[in-house]
Amino acid sequence: MMRLPIQRLFCTTVAFLFLFFRLGSAQRPNSASVCDYYAQAQFGANTSATQLKWIQSVVTLAFEGGSTLSNVTSELTGILRPGSINDVAIDLREYFNRSRASTNVRNAPVSINWLDQGSTIPLADFLSSKTETLVLSNTSNQYHLFGNFFTAFGRSFGCTLPPPPLSNTDGPVSLAYAHKFMNLEYNQLAYFIKQLAIASTHFRVSPQYRVKRSMSV
- Sketch the domain layout of the chain as residue ranges: 3-24+33-67+77-166+177-201
- Residues counted in the chain: 217
Looking at residue 115, its pLDDT comes to 97
d(CA 148, CA 130): 23
The tens digit of pLDDT for each residue in 94-141 reads 999 999 988 888 888 889 999 999 999 999 999 999 999 999 999 999
Whole-number Å distance between alpha carbons of 147 and 184: 22
**Angstrom distance (rounded) from CA 54 to CA 153:** 11
Cα(80)–Cα(59) distance, rounded to whole angstroms?
11
Interval 148-179: pLDDT, tens? 889 888 888 889 998 777 765 544 456 666 66
Q: Is the dihedral of CA 42, 47, 51, 56 positive or negative?
A: negative
Look up residue 109 and give its amino acid. P
CA distance 180 to 47: 33
63 vs 136: CA distance, rounded Å: 15
For 199-217, how does the pLDDT look when each residue is reduced to its tens digit (9 = 90+)? 988 887 654 433 333 333 3
pLDDT at residue 131, rounded to an integer: 94
The predicted pLDDT at position 189 comes to 87
- Looking at mean pLDDT, say which of 58-72, 153-167, 180-194, 200-214 comes out highest: 58-72
How confident is the model over 22-50, as pLDDT tens digits?
544 556 677 788 889 989 989 999 999 99
